[in-house]
A and B are shown apart, each in its own frame.
Chain A
Amino acid sequence: MNNFKRRKLVNMLASGVALTCVVLAVVPLIYILIEVVRIGAPAIDWEFLTSRTKGTGEPGEGIGNAILGTLLLVGYASAIGLPIGIFTGIYVSEFGNNRFGETVRFFNDILANFPSIVIGLLAYALVVDYMDVGFSLIAGAFALAIIMIPIVANTTEEALRMVPNSLREGALALGVPRRRAVMRIMLVNAKAGVVTGSLLAVARIAGETAPLILTAFYSNYWSASPFEPIASLPQTIFRNYNSPSEVLLQQAWGAALVLITIVLAINISVRLLMRSRTKKSKAVKKTWLTRLSLRA
């Protein structure tokens, strides 16, 4: 049975290799978290969170304007992107069993995987240059909204598909107009999925950097005007990561800590939310949750 022993050995080796792969894949994540907390945490205090960046490297600098900028960018982008994304999802799920629906779906999937720097260029061409707004909050939000749309549309579609058909049929059988069946029955029942998708889209755009370099640019001042350049957390990191000044470098790590906290908090809470919901329904657990969790 020498052959048998050899096969068992190969089997064990292969299992070991697969486990090693998992460890190797997870190590960077943990390493990143440790480093960001270790170096970033000492920078964080009230003054740091509420003062503006100055870019000079003198003590007393903060990232307050960058936090505000990121919130504004995400807010404006959501205001543009969420309705469009949700309605696109409704169209594809409720009226999309045709060629055009397939086209929209295909296109959204392509767009979801598209390099965000190219989307930044698109936004630059239209808002910054053609509409002559210049580098501005609104141009950045426009780029982020385009990134958001396919994510929201895809998750909305999935969520609507998970609503039991009997609900829709029941509503229609009672003579409810279709538009109301969609908006009042379907959408309400798909709420959790839509909220999940929207939150994940927000987490995703909060960390986007490349499109902002091309559109929102940067400002060291407090600004909330849609037509002025604006600071943001990812941009603060990028501008300072290579700085010879200790203060500015520290600023980058502090900004990284705040940013990663926001992004991971959204991701983890969405996950926990879905987990507690899915305990109620086995069917949903098998489909919606697992499918979502498998996609990156």
Chain B
Amino acid sequence: MVAEASEHGRLDHAGTGMAKARKHSSPIGPLASTGDMLFKYAVMAVALFTLVLVWFLVLMMLFEAGDSIAEFGGGFLIGDVWDPNREVYGALPFVFGTLLTSAMAILIGVPLSVGVAIYLSELSPPWLREPLSFLVELLAAVPSVIYGLWAMYALRPVMVDTIEPFFKTVLGWTPFFEGEPIGLDKFTAGIILAIMIIPTVASVSKEAMMAVPLSQREAALSLGATRYETTRMAVLTYARSGIFGACILGLGRAIGETMAVTMTIGNANLISWSLLDPGQTMSSLIANNWGEADGLQLSALIEIGIVLFVIALVVNVFARLIVGRFMKAVPTTGGGL
């Protein structure tokens, strides 16, 4: 579905067909000389280098986490205690924190991003499209640590005074809003994550929507559909797998994000469903404890890193398979982290 969409989209753009055609027909015949062969293998060696290096480094990480893996085994994943004094370490509170804040980011960030994508791809006047896209991109260029700084001094007061009391009044009866609004909690972290995934999700969704053939829109419009109905029936339906892939990419970003979360989540190693309680994610735990950790604790932190690695790998591979060559996560990204 996505491959199909992107193919149509590419044919719509003048000039891309050529680039695509080249990919399939190797333009250059067999290599002529030894020099060319050497060049090819040298370039190939460089390409191979990163690939091998990173897998080698993963092995090194496993080695570094050896003590912790030997000590706690599979129980590490379900252990809910992190106590350097007793030397007992478990990953559960942090896996929980990561998943909860990422879920919040998706819940808040995705509808906003899809709205942005719809505006940019379907509604925006042409002269406004480029400047607006650029602004949304710049959002990805802002370093994560500056998001954290801003959240601490600009977003937090708003959370404490307005947003959190509001949710407490309305939804205070649910387990999600127990406790006092303090501003440094999972709620604030979730909001800042939602802001940070907008550029990723919006740009990829927009690309998916722009790849929808014009004929789809024209068909809907000629049947008398309004702009909104066209978008809903022709565009969103056609682009849905691309948008889904965009969400998974956003999820990947939210899971790996470190600094902004570390600075806003309150850093408490506990499992609590209330968004108004402080928490801790896998990445924030590593960032917070790195300086003073040694021995078994260091090993356990690296094991947390491996858990994060595996989760991020699964999410990213999944996203990549869905999104296909639609987007190659490139430029401006602050990548999170």
- Interface of A with B (CB < 8 Å)? 7-8, 10-11, 14-15, 17-22, 24-26, 28-29, 31-32, 35-36, 39, 83-84, 87-88, 90-92, 94-97, 100, 103-104, 106-118, 121-126, 129-130, 146-147, 149-151, 153-155, 158, 161-162, 164-165, 168-169, 172, 177-179, 182, 197, 200, 203-204, 206-211, 213-214, 217, 234, 237-238, 241-242, 252-253, 256, 259-260, 263-264, 267-268, 271, 282-284, 286-287, 290-296
Contact = CB atoms under 8 A, between A and B. Distances in A.
Nearest to A118: B309
A160 B227 CA distance: 39
Contacts of A21: 111-116, 118-119
A17 to B, nearest CB: 6
Nearest to B130: A293
B331 A295 contact: yes
Contacts of B334: 204, 207
Interface string B94-137: 00000000000000000111111011101100000010111111
7 pairs of A and B residues whose beta carbons are closest in the complex? A115-B256, A207-B143, A21-B115, A283-B15, A116-B337, A179-B39, A122-B57
Given A21-B115, A122-B60, A210-B258, A115 B229 contact: no
A185 to B, nearest CB: 12
Given A25-B112, A283-B15, A296-B136, 18 more contacts: A21-B115, A22-B115, A26-B136, A32-B142, A32-B154, A39-B153, A88-B47, A115-B312, A121-B286, A125-B64, A147-B335, A154-B329, A177-B33, A178-B31, A260-B142, A267-B138, A282-B14, A296-B199
A259 B259 contact: no
A253 B138 CA distance: 19
Interface of A is mostly: helix
Interface string B131-163: 011111111111111111110111000000000
Interface of B: 13-16, 18-19, 22-24, 26-28, 31-33, 35-36, 38-40, 42-44, 46-51, 53-54, 56-58, 60-61, 63-64, 111-116, 118-120, 122-123, 130, 132-150, 152-154, 195, 198-200, 202-204, 206-207, 210, 226-229, 231, 249, 252-253, 255-259, 263, 283, 286-287, 290-291, 302, 305, 308-309, 312-313, 316-317, 319-320, 327-337
A7 B203 CA distance: 28
Contacts, number: 366
A154 B146 contact: no
Contacts of A113: 249, 252-253, 312, 316, 319-320, 329, 335
A91 B231 CA distance: 40
B283 to A, nearest CB: 5
B331 A283 contact: no
B180 to A, nearest CB: 20
A287 B317 contact: no
